[in-house]
Amino acid sequence: MGRTVPTWRNRVEAELHSLDNFQRALTSADRKALNRLINGVRNRRTAGGMLPAHDSWKPMLLSMLLECYSKISELESRIEKLIAEE
């Protein structure tokens, strides 16, 4: 028997693939930033699959927000460490 609902991974990859034209229109700096966010989604696929959603974007956006927050936290830690070294 075949699957009636595509797997979470397949749905996410299809949504990410749909961004290709948008991504091509971005500047190289924005493309790099978008790629980081996309990698954040891919790194959190397991967690996203645990959130039952018909709309793939909800867990994808949460993953992107977490990616941003993780980077901010990392930078805050680095700044605090540099300040402590002074």
Q: What are phi and psi of 37, to 5 degrees?
A: -65, -40
Around Cβ 59, how many Cβ atoms within 10 Å? 22
Q: What is the pTM of this model?
A: 0.80
> Residues 55-75: pLDDT tens digits?
888 899 999 999 999 999 999
Query: What Cα–Cα distance (Å) separates residue 72 from each residue in 2, 50, 75?
Result: 43, 25, 5
Residue 2 has pLDDT above 80, yes or no: no
**E-only strand ranges, the chain:** none
Token pair of 30, please? 């924005």
